[in-house]
């Protein structure tokens, strides 16, 4: 049993293999948080708390003059609001009488076998790993708000999930103004925050900073999880390294506006509140209705590597679904960087021909295939093949590609509309634009109002028709601008604050319907590269185009940052041309191959411009990837270089689940004259096994991990190496 209730002390205890989580219902019915951290054998973790008058922190009325009891200093599972806890709150609302306060007390709880799911939202599911669910219900009878706190406990995975359901228990409307998924208190300890910020073409750059007193906010109000702030954060000991130190991970499984607030308060206590962004949010909670929040995936691990391994495992096995979850992902060629909009059947077939001869398995036709799409100023919304570029039709193109032994994939950007499109001319009110105001344009396009039922149906039908009519086995689902001017013409004005979230409820439903109807189609997510790289999307699309930046050297930090939370099987990565189209940098083909082969692998360049030597090298890379893919996608991933070393080199390692094979990768970003060769300690091997290192020499796992491995000296511009380590005994 991973969830226990101890009636005498009012404690609820959650346990995973190596962590404990404790909460306690106190004598007044407040749900106190006691502990989350490495496993402890003590059942009552209230002992570290000393109760004393905190000075200038008020006391609940029930306590009258007992000044030692204050919501302002008490660790809580989900906060009240407006009644004397002055720290960041989990929830805010305007009640029917105009009051803006509520104080939640325990009503009941239940423990259920299996993992809860969340209506309308993606969530971690129970697949093979046995899970249990705890639901604790809190209520405020004056505000008439009831909150159900959901906890999913995956004992063997060391994962706890959290979500909340907020409902109106009264007879009048309540206006929700903030609805977070969780509040997590870390009352003791000093923490560094590692977060993943970025921009278009430079996503998920890790930054590690010690928390200072005040509130740290990581959020996106862009209508997408965003290039700028990924909905994932780590709090760790100041001393924590890859290998040791307490590290907490918090990942929101949501693709829209999100917010994480981390407050280090006056008493040196840390509170994390994570969930939907409250920016422009206002939700009409009618009597007897409820709002479900997105899910947070939590873990507490010893060291950053262990933390990442847990996220990789849970995402691979319990978030991603469908036929491609753990099976081979086809090596693809995408025509975007080879042709951009300047495409036609002849060019496409010539590229496909070359690709097929190299062993590439999937041909992806990117943007520009539909009528009037000569550049990015027009045609989004009109998903009809362009007869000028494809005079024999899309069908015929696909047939010819299939005849070469390749599968066919198609790019779409279904959530968008161009002003210059038949769709917009017919339905200008289907775009998100505010009345009497010219909307912000981005890439000269607008976003469709997915909160409208007709738009929902239109998008579903458009994609369903394409997938039914043509032999398409892969869809690249793009999303190339943020949401602005968020106003729906089908929503009454007081409820406009619901539109941004309703957009995502609709999007998830479209994806749900499509993945159910077309279970064998591989979806790859994309949003100007990696602008919507989150666990919510990964529930539908097993891989996501990680960045529009295909320069392998830029990719090193992008993929390094992404690896903290997301498995490499989810990281779309392609070999592109040199000089690189985003940075102008020249890099060796071998380096481009090694970097891209660490993800969901493919090519995105004009193969017809390459020499025979380069084509032969690509043929070898493709064959190599097919051979190593099980280790790259389903093995364990280790970062061998730290954020500090990244100015000089990046090294990383894959180890097969059986520990019988490992791939050690290095890219030198700044070769130094007469420097000592780079030396790393390998990880994750079997200490007692004997390994052959690149066929050069044999060595024990313990030596490679304890004494380490020295790379041969690498010189020149951005040299790279992949060392193959195979168990011989
Ligand atoms: C986005 C994607 C690219 C490409 C273009 C097409 O930028 O990230 O990979 O598909 O759109 O317009």
Residue 671: its pLDDT value, please?
A: 86
Residue 526 near ligand 1, beta carbon < 6 Å = yes
Q: Return the best residue to mutate from 373, 476, 526 for the ligand 1 pocket (most ligand atoms within 8 A of CB).
A: 526
Summarize pLDDT for 130-174 with one digit per residue, the tens.
899 999 999 999 999 999 999 999 999 999 999 999 999 999 999
Confidence of residue 674 (pLDDT cuts 50, 70, 90): confident
Summarize pLDDT for 589-619 with one digit per residue, the tens.
999 999 999 999 999 999 999 999 999 999 9
The mean pLDDT value for 286-292 works out to 98
**Contact of 37 with 27, CB cutoff 8 Å:** no
Question: Which residue's alpha carbon is at the smallest distance from atom 6 of ligand 1?
Answer: 367
Residue 528 near ligand 1, beta carbon < 6 Å = yes
Q: Could you tell me what percent of the chain has a pLDDT over 90?
A: 96
Q: How far is the CA of 711 from the centre of ligand 1 (A)?
A: 37
**Contact of 225 with 204, CB cutoff 8 Å:** no
Question: What residues are paired with 297 via a beta bridge?
Answer: 161, 251
| Catalytic annotation present for 534 | yes
Name 487's Cβ contacts closer than 8 Å, sequence gap at least 6: 432, 433, 434, 435, 496, 499
Summarize pLDDT for 447-459 with one digit per residue, the tens.
999 999 999 999 9
Taking alpha carbons only, the member of 70, 82, 101, 39 closest to residue 265 is 70
Q: What is the DSSP string of 74-122?
A: S-BSS--BSSS--S--SEEEE-TTS---B--EEEEEEEEES---BTTB-
User: Is residue 415 scored above 70 in pLDDT?
Assistant: yes
Summarize pLDDT for 84-102 with one digit per residue, the tens.
999 999 999 999 899 999 9
Summarize pLDDT for 4-49 with one digit per residue, the tens.
999 999 999 999 999 999 999 999 999 999 999 999 999 899 999 9
Confidence of residue 80 (pLDDT cuts 50, 70, 90): very high
Question: Which residue's alpha carbon is at the smallest distance from atom 1 of ligand 1?
Answer: 528
Residue 529 near ligand 1, beta carbon < 6 Å = yes
User: Is residue 416 scored above 80 in pLDDT?
Assistant: yes
- Our measurement of the distance from residue 115's CA atom to the centroid of its chain's CA atoms, rounded to an integer in Å, reads 20
**C-alpha to C-alpha distance for 183 and 147, rounded to whole angstroms:** 13
**Contact of 398 with 411, CB cutoff 8 Å:** no
Q: Could you tell me what percent of the chain has a pLDDT over 70?
A: 100
Residue 366 near ligand 1, beta carbon < 6 Å = yes
Q: How far is the CA of 367 from the centre of ligand 1 (A)?
A: 7
Give the active site residue among 614, 620, 645, 724: 614
Q: Which two tokens stand for residue 469?
A: 């009519």
Residue 261 near ligand 1, beta carbon < 6 Å = no
| Catalytic annotation present for 620 | no
Residue 193: its pLDDT value, please?
A: 98
How many Cβ atoms sit within 10 Å of the Cβ of residue 453?
10
Q: Which atom of ligand 1 sits closest to the CA of residue 604? A: 9
Q: Return the best residue to mutate from 224, 334, 336, 581 for the ligand 1 pocket (most ligand atoms within 8 A of CB).
A: 336
User: Is residue 643 scored above 90 in pLDDT?
Assistant: no
* 18 burial type by CB count under 10 A (0-12 exposed, 13-18 middle, 19+ buried): middle
Confidence of residue 727 (pLDDT cuts 50, 70, 90): very high
Summarize pLDDT for 311-354 with one digit per residue, the tens.
999 999 999 999 999 999 999 999 999 999 999 999 999 999 99
Residue 337 near ligand 1, beta carbon < 6 Å = no
**Contact of 141 with 108, CB cutoff 8 Å:** no
Q: How far is the CA of 707 from the centre of ligand 1 (A)?
A: 45
User: Is residue 588 scored above 80 in pLDDT?
Assistant: yes
Taking alpha carbons only, the member of 401, 330, 397 closest to residue 359 is 330
Q: Return the best residue to mutate from 333, 367, 375, 477 for the ligand 1 pocket (most ligand atoms within 8 A of CB).
A: 367
Q: How far is the CA of 529 from the centre of ligand 1 (A)?
A: 7
Q: How far is the CA of 411 from the centre of ligand 1 (A)?
A: 9
Q: Which atom of ligand 1 sits closest to the CA of residue 376? A: 12
Ramachandran angles phi, psi of 418, nearest 5°: -90, 145
Question: Which residue's alpha carbon is at the smallest distance from atom 2 of ligand 1?
Answer: 528
The mean pLDDT value for 646-653 works out to 90
Q: Which two tokens stand for residue 173?
A: 């409307």
**Contact of 232 with 565, CB cutoff 8 Å:** yes
**C-alpha to C-alpha distance for 229 and 369, rounded to whole angstroms:** 32
Summarize pLDDT for 534-580 with one digit per residue, the tens.
999 999 999 999 999 999 999 999 999 999 999 999 999 999 999 99
Residue 336 near ligand 1, beta carbon < 6 Å = yes
Helix (H) or strand (E) holding 133: strand 131-140
Which of 104-113, 640-649, 683-692, 714-723 is least confident? 640-649
Taking alpha carbons only, the member of 76, 77, 106, 82 closest to residue 94 is 82
Residue 369 near ligand 1, beta carbon < 6 Å = no
User: Is residue 647 scored above 80 in pLDDT?
Assistant: no
Q: Return the best residue to mutate from 370, 375, 411, 550 for the ligand 1 pocket (most ligand atoms within 8 A of CB).
A: 411
The mean pLDDT value for 51-57 works out to 89
Give the active site residue among 361, 478, 498, 534: 534
Residue 410 near ligand 1, beta carbon < 6 Å = no
Residue 130: its pLDDT value, please?
A: 85
User: Is residue 129 scored above 90 in pLDDT?
Assistant: no
**C-alpha to C-alpha distance for 418 and 444, rounded to whole angstroms:** 7
State the pTM of this model. 0.98
Confidence of residue 673 (pLDDT cuts 50, 70, 90): confident
Q: How far is the CA of 339 from the centre of ligand 1 (A)?
A: 12
Q: How far is the CA of 343 from the centre of ligand 1 (A)?
A: 15
The mean pLDDT value for 299-309 works out to 98
């Amino acid at each position: 049993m991973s969830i226990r209730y101890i009636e005498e002390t009012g404690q609820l205890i959650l346990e995973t293999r190596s962590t404990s989580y404790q909460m306690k219902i106190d004598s007044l019915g407040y749900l106190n948080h006691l502990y989350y951290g490495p496993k402890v054998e003590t059942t009552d973790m209230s002992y570290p708390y000393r109760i004393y008058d905190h000075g200038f922190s008020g006391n609940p009325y029930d306590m009258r003059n007992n000044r030692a009891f204050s919501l302002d200093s008490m660790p809580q599972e989900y906060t009240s609001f407006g009644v004397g806890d002055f720290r960041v709150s989990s929830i805010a609302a305007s009640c029917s009488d105009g009051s803006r306060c509520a104080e939640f007390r325990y009503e009941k709880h239940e423990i259920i076998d299996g993992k809860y799911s969340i209506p309308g939202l993606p969530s971690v599911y129970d697949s093979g790993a046995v899970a249990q669910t705890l639901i604790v219900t809190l209520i405020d009878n004056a505000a008439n708000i009831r909150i159900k706190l959901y906890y999913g406990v995956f004992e063997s995975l060391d994962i706890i999930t959290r979500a909340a359901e907020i409902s109106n228990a009264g007879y009048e409307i309540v206006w929700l103004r903030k609805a977070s998924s969780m509040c997590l208190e870390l009352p003791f300890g000093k923490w560094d925050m590692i977060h993943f910020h970025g921009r278009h073409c430079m996503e998920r750059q890790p930054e590690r900073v010690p928390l200072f007193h005040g509130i740290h906010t990581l959020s996106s109000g862009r209508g997408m999880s965003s290039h700028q702030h990924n909905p994932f954060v780590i709090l760790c000991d100041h001393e924590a390294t890859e290998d040791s130190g307490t590290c907490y991970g918090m990942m929101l499984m949501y693709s829209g506006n999100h917010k994480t607030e981390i407050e280090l308060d006056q008493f040196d206590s840390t509170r994390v509140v994570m969930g939907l962004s409250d920016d422009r949010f206002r939700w009409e909670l009618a009597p007897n209705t409820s709002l479900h929040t997105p899910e947070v995936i939590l873990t507490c691990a010893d060291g950053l590597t262990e933390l990442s391994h847990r996220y990789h495992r849970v995402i691979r096995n319990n978030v991603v679904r469908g036929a491609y979850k753990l099976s081979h992902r086809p090596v693809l060629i995408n025509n975007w960087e080879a042709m951009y909009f300047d495409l036609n059947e002849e060019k496409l077939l010539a590229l496909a021909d070359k690709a097929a001869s190299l062993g590439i398995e999937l041909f992806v036709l990117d943007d520009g295939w539909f009528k009037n799409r000569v550049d990015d100023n027009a045609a989004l919304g009109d998903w009809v093949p362009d007869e000028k570029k494809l005079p024999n039709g899309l069908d015929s193109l696909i047939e010819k590609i299939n005849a070469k032994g390749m599968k066919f994939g198609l790019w779409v950007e279904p959530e968008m509309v161009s002003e210059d499109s038949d769709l917009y001319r017919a339905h200008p009110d289907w775009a998100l634009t505010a009345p009497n105001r010219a909307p912000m344009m981005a890439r000269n396009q607008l976003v469709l109002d997915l909160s409208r039922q007709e738009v929902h149906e239109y998008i579903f039908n458009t994609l369903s028709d394409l997938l039914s009519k043509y032999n398409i086995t892969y869809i690249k689902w793009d999303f190339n601008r943020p949401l602005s001017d968020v106003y729906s013409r089908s929503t009454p004005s007081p409820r406009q604050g619901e539109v941004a979230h309703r957009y995502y409820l609709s999007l998830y439903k479209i994806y749900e319907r499509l993945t159910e109807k077309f279970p064998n189609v591989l979806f790859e997510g994309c949003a100007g590269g990696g602008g919507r790289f989150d666990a919510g999307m990964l529930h539908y699309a097993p891989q996501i185009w990680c960045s529009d930046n295909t320069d392998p050297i830029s990719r090193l930090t992008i993929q390094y940052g992404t690896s903290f939370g997301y498995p490499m099987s989810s990281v779309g990565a392609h070999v592109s041309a040199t000089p690189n189209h985003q940075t102008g940098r020249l890099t060796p083909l071998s380096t481009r191959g090694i970097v891209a082969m660490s993800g969901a692998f493919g090519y995105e360049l004009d193969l017809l411009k390459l020499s025979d030597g380069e084509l032969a090298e690509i043929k070898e890379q493709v064959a190599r990837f097919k051979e190593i893919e099980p280790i790259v996608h389903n093995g364990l991933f280790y970062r061998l270089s730290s954020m500090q070393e990244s100015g000089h080199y990046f090294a990383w390692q894959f180890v097969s689940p059986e520990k019988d094979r490992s791939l050690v990768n290095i890219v030198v970003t700044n070769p130094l004259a007469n420097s000592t060769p780079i030396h790393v300690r390998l990880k994750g091997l079997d200490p007692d096994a004997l390994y052959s290192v690149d066929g050069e020499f044999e060595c024990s796992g313990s030596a490679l991990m304890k004494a380490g491995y020295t790379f041969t000296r690498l010189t020149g511009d951005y040299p790279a190496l992949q060392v193959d380590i195979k168990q011989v005994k």
